[in-house]
Chains A and B, each alone.
Chain A
Amino acid sequence: MFKSARSILDDKLALIGLSTIIILLVIAICAPSVSPYDPMKINLQERLSPPSLEHPMGTDDLGRDYLSRIIYGTRISMTAAALITMISLIIGLIVGTASGYFGGIVDETLMRIVDIMLAFPSLIITIAIAGILGPTFENLIIAMTVTGWVGYSRLIRSSVLLVKEQDFVVSSKAIGCSDLRVVFDHIVPNAIAPIVVLATLDMGNVILGLCGMSFLGLGAQPPTPEWGSMLEAGKPFMESMPTLMIFPGLMIMITVMAFNFLGDGLRDALDPRIKAKVEI
């Protein structure tokens, strides 16, 4: 682990990714104190003003300070992505552990369901569910969770299968531990660690999905300062005030890129085979 930490620090791209994520998290947590204005405060006197010292990113069509809205957008995207990832992981953990630990008919049934879910193009299902439930941000989170847990349950299942055969699990069963105790004390902690790391890194893609859906109008609705819906709202002013569409898009890209940078670095660091090749 120490070695991986070292090689992450050596990898400049990964380091950039990590620092960006930390900065974004700080911005998200401190949104009320770092944003210069109230993101919802309408000021029709200052509609569509270009970037200036007072409003570093200008104002939108209702005179709201764009920088403040972008900052609150960080908070919304990060929270929603974390929520989706967490709920997906919990469902994936329950299904994957049950499937891997009990095997047999439980495994067969659960994995057939997973197969069916994987056979759907996930974007279409997300759109359909979010749209039919009604376009709100909460429903979008539900829709993305419905498709999100599937992949994790597969990963966790195979991880559980590996851990299950190890001596400490076999011996704890031999001394008469209950199934519940074996699962929660021995299997889950050992099977889930690498997957939690991967899931965190996948948050970039979750944010991409969230903003895409909101852009389509199937997620956060105006006036919520969410990047995707801000981009959509800025679209009509593309010619007169292109900054309205440039800043939210830039923020989405920076965020997703930061997660990808770190993810790439981490995968390289955790995969000793690729490192071996470098040394040759």
Chain B
Amino acid sequence: MNSYIIKRMLAAVPVMIGISLLSYSLLYISPGDPAEILLRLQLGTVNPDAAAVEAFRAEHGLNDPIYIQYGNWLGNVLKGDMGRSFRTGRPVIEEFFARFPLTFQLVLIAEILALLIAVPLGIVSSSMHNSVVDHILRFFALIGVSMPSFWLGLLLIFFISLHLRLIPVLSYGSSMSLVLPITTLCIGSAASIMRLTRASMLEVLRQNYIRTARAKGVNEVQVIWHHAFRNALIPVITIFGIHLGHLAGGTVIVETIFSWPGVGRFLVDSIYARDFPVIQGFVFLISLIFLLISLSIDIAYSVFDPRIRYDVPKLER
């Protein structure tokens, strides 16, 4: 048990190093000389002269081999220093945690709502497999997963804000402002959770122990809730975790449409402005949160489902 958790955490260490390496190297995939780009951004001049570029390089250690530069960056990151944003002048870490709660709030509410709507519908759909109800639910779920979130968001603004005038378009600050972005996020998530619940229930319902329960004369409701549901829930929780893990970045589009001042929007704005400390820091932090969430879900499983602990080597191959 404990050895599983330790093994899982140790396996995350190289992944974390990889994440930091990739986040750092984002500066180097940019076309052109990083020193020149950074200097141009800081000074706002079009063409910084060669001497200034050289001085800037020396000052910021850009003449060092890349692995030393990376080492310095990582060392600072471990001390909690990711540099300052070129645009705002504030530390990257501060910028991130000022916005993270806003994004987190959106995703958490949307995902929990999605779970509450989708799981019961998925169970209904699977227990009435191939009936009219099943077909209708399946059809709507397919529409939900095929609907581009950016289009859904615009349609909601169009119908609810402009046509029915229920909620003002730009109302950030009031609690009403949460409704449209959450609805947008929730519909897409609910559709995919419902499809997964349905598939997973269908899979479980054809197992032998379900047949045994039915043969024993257990009534259908009991079979579904007591015997099938709990086992069918495992993949559903995985998807829920992945959705939560995308929380820091997956909302970029929704945040852009609804002018929501969250993490994703700030990242996109920084990309446009080539604000490299922010890009590197945000990508690193978002990925780190994503990794930590998937790690804790893996560990939570091993607590709830003993099979996973024992099957690890087999699962890997």
Contact = CB atoms under 8 A, between A and B. Distances in A.
Interface string A240-261: 0010011011001100110011
B14 A124 contact: no
Interface string A28-46: 0000000000000000000
B129 A252 contact: no
Given A119-B18, A212-B150, A128 B143 contact: no
Interface residues of A, number: 50
Given A120-B19, A127-B271, A242-B158, 10 more contacts: A119-B19, A119-B290, A121-B249, A125-B22, A128-B267, A211-B148, A217-B272, A249-B155, A274-B203, A277-B202
Interface string B74-102: 00000000000000000000000000000
Interface residues of B, number: 51
Closest 7 CB pairs of A and B: A249-B151, A116-B18, A131-B271, A124-B249, A257-B146, A256-B146, A277-B206
Residue among B150, B245, B248 with the most chain A CB within 10 A?
A: B150
Contacts of A249: 148, 150-151, 154-155
B197 to A, nearest CB: 15
A216 B149 CA distance: 12
A245 B202 CA distance: 39
B253 A215 contact: yes
Interface in B122-145: 129-130, 139, 142-143, 145
Contacts of A112: 14, 18
Given A116-B22, A119-B19, A249-B154, A127 B142 contact: no
A133 interface: yes
A148 interface: no
A276 interface: yes
A9 to B, nearest CB: 17
26 contacts: A112-B14, A113-B18, A119-B294, A121-B245, A123-B252, A124-B248, A124-B283, A125-B283, A127-B249, A128-B283, A129-B26, A131-B279, A132-B26, A132-B274, A204-B146, A228-B150, A231-B151, A239-B162, A242-B158, A253-B146, A261-B142, A273-B203, A273-B206, A274-B203, A276-B206, A277-B129
Contacts of B279: 128, 131-132
B268 interface: yes
B22 to A, nearest CB: 7
Q: Is the interface of B mostly helix, strand, loop or mixed?
A: helix
A127 B252 contact: yes
Interface in B149-176: 149-151, 154-155, 157-158, 162
B15 interface: yes
B312 to A, nearest CB: 15
A215 B148 CA distance: 11
A13 B137 CA distance: 13
B147 interface: yes
B31 A121 contact: no
A15 to B, nearest CB: 14
A229 to B, nearest CB: 11
Contacts of A125: 22, 283
B238 interface: no
Nearest to B149: A212
B129 A128 contact: no
B286 interface: yes
B287 interface: yes
A198 interface: no
Contacts of A260: 142, 145-146
A135 to B, nearest CB: 8
Contacts of B283: 124-125, 128
A116 B15 contact: yes
